[in-house]
Chain A
Amino acid sequence: MARFCQGEAAAFDALFLRYSRPVHGYLTRVTGSAAVADDLAQLTFLSLVRARGRFQAGSRVKPWLYAIATNAARDHQRRGRRPEELTSEGELPSTIPADLPAPRDAGLERTVQRALAQLPEGQRLPILMHRFEGMGFAEIAEVLGLTESAVKVRAHRGYARLRELLAGLRDEVAP
């Protein structure tokens, strides 16, 4: 990171190689759209370059990068672009981008996406980062600018709510 901050292209490439796919995957999960994630990933890495003077030496890169990605996604949703990505029922789309391999169970995936989409952002983001990005609660707290205990509470409430939603949705789709 220090070499990247000094403008070294090879150092940026190393960071990009390591984080671009996970960040893109995270943005796809947050926005529910691979096309939107493409744009936001671009903004995220442009921000990484433009704002590297704000990076504090000695801090961890991953939470900082995910904070940038989260802010870009929030800004996208704040500007009212999110409804275009939702279905007529206000849910995350269930379609799978063409370049992704088929999921193991499309129906189940759709069910989980519907349940996740119903969670408030404060509970959804900690769950996405904890479950899919393999981040600890301390790292998530860094990303979201919260205390670790606040993140734990939100994640736990989110998991509990998700459990209820999944049970309900499963009953709905069961024959």
Chain B
Amino acid sequence: MTPECEQVLDLVGEPLPAPLAAHAAACGDCRALREGFGALEAPPSSAPPALESARRLALAELAASPRPTPWWHELALLLAVDAAVVAAGLLALGRKGLVLNAAPAPVVLTLALLLLLVVGGGALLALAPLRRPRPWGALGLGVAGLAVAQVLCGSGLSHRPLLSGTLRCLGLEVGMSVAPLAVAMVLLRRAAFTPGRALAAGLSAAGAGLLVLHLHCPTGTVAHVLWGHVAPWLALAGLAVLVRSRMGSRSYAP
């Protein structure tokens, strides 16, 4: 490809200055490119009947719901469900005390705040109508770091046999995640499917249950936290992506 060919490439669809026009006329490849694009530009068609049908349907939809729902209502709803799950979970499980995690208090508090950030930030990333490139890489790194910190910063204490304790926490986390995940899936149908959005919604929704376990569970061994707390959280987020990918969308808005 000559430098002239590069310039012709940059000006596809636009008038060429005289020297380039001469090159394009002489160069077979450049001519093929420009003629090819010219051939696709058929004159505009008359309106297909389907467009009139689309117009009628859209107008009927508009008449049925003249007031739009702002997107942040959906965000507020998901966060309210997450908050309700955390409050109900801590109250239901916390008869012997709301916070039983025996790790140093600053560690417990820092990890709890980071989890809250994931719950809130994940919901925002999942539901906000941003069109700019989203910080998916930062989210992935943050979640990976938080998962490792959760596993490694436990108290190391064990109060139950590994299997029964892990299964109990796993069941509790899944149970507490059902409602937030269901609400998140319904809300996600109001925008186009993207794996990143679904993953963020899943991490946020399942994060509520993880937060309750983080504060309440007195067992802090690596194996227990890994298989009873963190692995179910990540698995539920993955499940959210799978389920959302198989659901239809009510709207394809970004």
Chain A interface (Cβ < 8 Å from any Cβ of B): 5-7, 9, 12-13, 16, 20-21, 24-25, 29, 34, 38-39, 41-56, 59, 63-64, 67-69, 71-72, 74-75, 78, 96-97, 99-101, 103-105, 108-109, 111-113, 115, 130-132, 142-143, 145-147, 156, 159-160, 162-163, 166-167, 170
Contacts and interface: CB of A to CB of B under 8 A. Distances in A.
Interface string B58-82: 1101110111111101000000000
Interface stretch (B154-162, B163-171, B185-193, B228-236): B185-193
A48 B58 contact: yes
6 contacts: A38-B51, A50-B253, A71-B249, A104-B38, A162-B36, A166-B32
A24 B131 contact: no
Contacts of A112: 36-37, 39-40
Nearest to B72: A53
Contact of A42 (B5, B42, B45, B53): B53
Interface string B1-27: 100010001101100000000000000
B54 interface: yes
A38 B133 CA distance: 30
A29 B37 CA distance: 12
Contacts of B66: 6-7
Contacts of A142: 131
A42 B48 CA distance: 12
A125 B10 CA distance: 16
B43 interface: yes
Per DSSP, chain A at the interface is helix
Categorize the interface residue count of chain B.
35 or more
Contacts of A39: 50
Across the A-B interface, the 8 shortest Cβ-Cβ residue pairs:
A7-B66, A51-B253, A38-B50, A71-B192, A53-B68, A112-B36, A42-B54, A54-B129
A7 B46 CA distance: 28
Contacts of B62: 7, 9, 12, 49
Contacts of A13: 55, 59
Contacts of B249: 71, 75
Contacts of B41: 132
Contacts of A9: 59, 62-63
A21 B51 contact: yes
Interface string B205-242: 00000000000000000000000000000000000000
Given A46-B57, A46-B61, A156 B9 contact: yes
Contact of B129 (A12, A49, A55): A55
A64 to B, nearest CB: 7
B42 A100 contact: yes
Given A20-B47, A54-B191, A71-B193, 8 more contacts: A21-B47, A41-B51, A46-B251, A49-B61, A51-B190, A163-B30, A166-B36, A170-B32
Interface of B: 1, 5, 9-10, 12-13, 28-30, 32-33, 35-48, 50-51, 53-55, 57-59, 61-63, 65-71, 73, 129, 131-134, 190-193, 245, 249-254
Contacts of B58: 12, 16, 42, 45-46, 48-49
A111 B33 CA distance: 10
A111 B1 CA distance: 21
B69 to A, nearest CB: 5
Contacts of B43: 101
A24 to B, nearest CB: 6
A87 B245 CA distance: 27
B4 to A, nearest CB: 13
A163 B129 CA distance: 36
A38 B68 CA distance: 25
B192 A75 contact: yes
B192 A50 contact: no
A81 to B, nearest CB: 13
Contacts of B252: 43-44, 47, 51, 68-69, 71-72, 75
